[in-house]
Structure 1
């Protein structure tokens, strides 16, 4: 990502409905060039989705789960990582040493959505098996507001 991509992502973060024309004026490119950049950012996983927030619906209730993923081939499992990056509810994805290959933290609005994501992960080509644990309560959480650049690259 270059500085123009960063500006586009920042503007979309503030307002995902901003027009290509308005973005183009801000970054001094044509509308078509902005559209192509946004499509590329989506393909690369830098933009994983757009979120709707309804007024008065900010309860903050989420279902959290950890999904430990075993890949068929640790060294050639990049497709699994790319697919995980495209799931908006994946808030953390880390490659591990030891028994598990990948640890994924999900935050979803419902248990049904967690189950659906788990099913999608389990069906991914290259995934051998998964182990899932639901979060019952949070005692310490110092991650809020921090982002790991390693997962986003």
Structure 2
């Protein structure tokens, strides 16, 4: 990635809907050269997608959250389940547990229908024996990531 690629990414970050012609004039390249660079940046994973941002509300307020506790058929050879869970974008936390449950998964999705689709997908995974699911009704504490203070 060179400085022109970084300028392209900066411009797309400010306005993902900018036309190739406008983007070209801002980074001083031809429209075709900009299109080729954007396509290359997408292929290389520097641009992973475009999204809609609704500025009127906090995006976290629109999410449906669920905790899914997963029982695997074989705890020691259940890596395929973990690998499959990492490929689901709505999985925000996936932890292997001790005790009765094998895996705890936190889902954050735009709709209850999407939570159900993911639930069905996980339930059908080879290696998943059973699941217990709970929907979050409200958020009482939401501490930012980073350094946390542990009492004791």
Common fold: TM-score over 0.5: yes
Is 1:52 matched with 2:42? no
Instruction: Report the counterpart of residue 151 of structure 1 in structure 2.
Output: none
Alignment partners' CA distance in 1, 2:63 and 2:84? 22
User: Could you list the runs of 5+ residues in structure 1 that have no partner in the other structure?
Assistant: 1-10, 24-30, 39-48, 147-153
SS at match of 1:104: strand
1:79-119 Cα offsets, whole Å, 9 max, x none, are 00000000000000000000000000000000000011000
Q: Which residue of 1 aligns with 2:105?
A: 104
Runs of 4+ in structure 1 over 3 Å off: 17-23, 54-59
Report how many aligned residue pairs link the two structures: 117
SS at match of 2:71: strand
Gaps (5+ residues) in structure 2?
A: 1-8, 17-33, 147-152
How many Å separate the matches in 2 of 1:116 and 1:63? 13
Larger radius of gyration: 2
**Structure 1 residues 75 and 51: alpha-carbon distance in aligned structure 2, compared to 1, 3 A threshold:** farther
Aligned-residue RMSD, C-alpha: 3.3
Alpha-carbon distance in structure 2 between the residues aligned to 1:113 and 1:122: 14
| Alignment TM-score, normalising by the size of structure 1 | 0.62
SS of equivalent residue, structure 1 residue 133: strand
